[in-house]
């Protein structure tokens, strides 16, 4: 087995794990929405899970390259120059899908869950426009909605003195599911941070396979062993 075939096999298995992880992460807020509300699109955690960055970007768009990379490994049907070239070309879709997943996840982390931005907390307040994905400013990436004492307006939060809880005590509970706001904040942060990491790793594996597949096409692959009956 040449180094091109070995790295192709590693890329294929790695992309398979990542695309499954991306689908599962994207499904978490959708499932929580159904469990909490009993129906889709009603009081979702955020608008961005409905962009399906993990299901489409990190999932479906990665399947062709993953399938070809696994098929182009040692003793497989596509273990030839053409198979290596196709594994390289199909990873263009992987790179595009990973970039889409990263952009949506970054924008989601910038804006925070819907409960922190809209009192209505419903899909009519969502604006599904691709112009939103290009409106990313590095200087605004401070995750203030997650680390602040409360992301909702003071009028929407119960007076802490009525329950014997001071403002200082509130910060101690910000990372626990003691309220709907905290629950949504933790789920939103965990899901989209995970999707961002998945997108970055898929981008790296996709770019590396583009190079390795091209080299495998130029240099050739090892001959397949004859089948032993």
Neighbouring C-beta atoms of residue 216, cutoff 10 Å: 26
pLDDT at residue 95, as a whole number: 97
Let me know if residue 228 belongs to a domain. no
pLDDT at residue 25, as a whole number: 97
Q: What is the mean pLDDT of residues 145-162?
A: 55
Structural domain span for residue 51: 3-119+170-219
Let me know if residue 159 belongs to a domain. no
pLDDT at residue 9, as a whole number: 85
Report d(CA 114, CA 126) in Å as an integer: 8
- pLDDT (tens digit per residue) in 113-122: 888 776 566 6
Q: How many domains does the chain have?
A: 1
Neighbouring C-beta atoms of residue 76, cutoff 10 Å: 18
Residue 141 has pLDDT above 50, yes or no: yes
User: pTM, whole model, 2 decimals?
Assistant: 0.80
- Buried-exposed string 110-138: b where 16+ CB fall within 10 A, e elsewhere: bbbbbbbbeeebebeebeeeeebbeeeee
């Amino acid at each position: 087995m040449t180094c091109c075939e070995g790295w192709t096999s590693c890329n294929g298995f790695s992309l398979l794990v990542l695309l499954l992880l991306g689908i599962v992460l994207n499904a978490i807020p959708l499932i929580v929405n159904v469990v909490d509300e009993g129906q889709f699109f009603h009081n979702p955690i955020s608008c961005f899970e409905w962009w399906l960055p993990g299901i489409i970007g990190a999932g479906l768009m990665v399947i062709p390259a993953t399938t070809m990379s696994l098929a182009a490994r040692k003793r497989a049907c596509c273990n030839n120059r053409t198979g290596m070239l196709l594994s390289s070309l199909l990873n263009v879709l992987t790179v595009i899908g990973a970039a889409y997943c990263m952009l949506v996840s970054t924008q989601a982390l910038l804006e925070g869950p819907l409960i922190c931005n809209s009192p209505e907390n419903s899909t009519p307040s969502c604006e599904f426009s691709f112009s939103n994905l290009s409106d990313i400013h590095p200087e605004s990436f401070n995750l203030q909605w997650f680390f602040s004492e409360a992301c909702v307006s003071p009028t929407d939060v119960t007076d802490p003195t009525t329950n014997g809880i001071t403002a200082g005590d509130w910060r101690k509970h910000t990372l626990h599911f003691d309220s709907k706001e905290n629950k949504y904040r933790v789920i939103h942060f965990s899901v989209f941070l995970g999707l961002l990491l998945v997108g970055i790793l898929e981008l790296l594996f996709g770019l590396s396979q583009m190079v390795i597949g091209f080299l495998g096409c130029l240099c050739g692959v090892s001959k397949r062993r004859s089948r032993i009956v």
